[in-house]
Amino acid sequence: MLPAAIFSVAMVAYPVIRTVWLSVHNGNLARPRQMNDFVGLQHYQRLLGDGNFWHALLVMVIYAAAVTAIAYGIGLAAALLLERRSAFTRISRTLLTLPWAVPGVVAGFVYVWMFDASFGVTNFLMRRLGLIDQPVLWLLKSTPAFVVVILAAIWKTVPFNMLTHLAGLQAVPEELREAARVDGATSWQEFRHIVWPALGNVRVVSILITTLHSFREFGQIYVLTGGGPARATETLSVQIYTESFGYFRFGYASAIGIVLLIASLIFTVATVRTQKTSFF
């Protein structure tokens, strides 16, 4: 037990403690003589008045909500469609799981090229299909760039949701579903009254992990848009990176990180409390 405990403390607790420490000290690498000065809650006070912070928080919330809702929906639908075992469903499940195996940064680069305004395949196909006359400036305008960032995240996240629900569906008592069908229930009624409630805990886990992942997503967003254009896709994670490595303000970045951590904890507690101990 002791080695495991030491490992947990070293790998988890120390970075958090260090970040809290940095958040109450100057932490500006470009001011080495003041870097370790204690500043109390100065960074947190600055956060409250920083429009860029609130904007990044809003972007993060919208991004997480959109990715979670859509990836969850598609993942659930895919799980229901591919529930029955056959050669087709086995192949389909494998193909749908592949995005999960692709590193986020690699996926980001692929999407950058797919949605390139001048040479991207998306504009090429849309023009060929007559859907557009002029190329769409996907990553150069705020709204389209945000859509692409969300799309790329959904593509990466659907496999996780599909797999968790496939596992959850295995745990739904088959006799209940058969009994419902024998009693004349439609597929929709079977889903609504048996399957959906039975997947309650899987749903909680799925939403929780997808949302937390969205909160901390950095690599894919940074490769796609760098948080631009005009901060349209700058989440708190991207802002933390910019403040740290762009401006050397590690203290302020740490304060943002602590706020993100607290937000994640609150969300986790609130979500876990909705878990039930039984199906119904």
| Nearer of residues 88 and 113 to another protein, judged by Cβ | 113
Stretch that binds another protein, among 13-21, 134-142, 206-214, 264-272 (CB under 8 A): 134-142
- d(Cα 226, Cα 109) in Å, to the nearest integer? 12
- Residue 33 has phi, psi (to 5 degrees) of -75, -25
Smallest gap, in angstroms, from Cβ of residue 100 to another protein? 25
Residue 76 CB coordination number (10 Å): 25
SS3 248: coil
Which residues have a Cβ under 8 Å from the Cβ of 82 and sit 6 or more positions away? 89, 92, 93, 96, 162, 166
Closest contact distance (angstroms) between CB of 149 and another protein is 11
Nearer to another protein, 119 or 280 (CB): 119
Look at the block and give the residue holding tokens 């951590």.
261
User: 235: closest CA among 11, 65, 57?
Assistant: 57
Task: Give the rounded distance of the alpha carbon of 246 from its chain centre.
Answer: 24
Of residues 193-252, those binding another protein (CB under 8 A): 225-231, 242, 245-248, 250
Tokens at 224, concatenated: 């796609």
Segment 148-187, which members bind another protein (CB under 8 A)?
none
Give CA torsion, residues 222, 224, 230, 232, to 10 deg.
-90
Q: Which stretch binds another protein (CB under 8 A): 77-85, 96-104, 140-148, 152-160?
A: 140-148
Nearer to another protein, 206 or 239 (CB): 239
Question: Which of 69, 140, 147, 263 is close enough to bind another protein by CB under 8 A?
Answer: 140
**Distance (Å, whole) CA 209 – CA 206:** 5
- Residue from the set 2, 38, 84, 134 that interacts with another protein by CB under 8 A: 134
Q: List, in sequence order, every residue forming a beta bridge with 38; answer none if it has no partner.
A: 25
Q: Is 118 in the site for another protein (CB under 8 A)?
A: yes
Judged by CB under 8 A, the residue of 30, 81, 91, 125 near another protein is: 30
Q: Shortest approach of another protein to residue 206 CB, angstroms?
A: 31
Fill in the DSSP letter of residue 173.
-
- Of residues 87 and 129, the one with the C-beta less far from another protein: 129
Alpha-carbon distance of 251 to 244, in angstroms, equals 8
Size of the residue set binding another protein (CB under 8 A): 32
- As measured in angstroms, the least distance from the Cβ of 189 to another protein is 49
* Residue selected from 1, 94, 101, 133 as contacting another protein according to rule CB under 8 A: 133
Contacts to another protein by CB under 8 A: 29-33, 116-119, 127, 133-135, 137-142, 225-231, 242, 245-248, 250
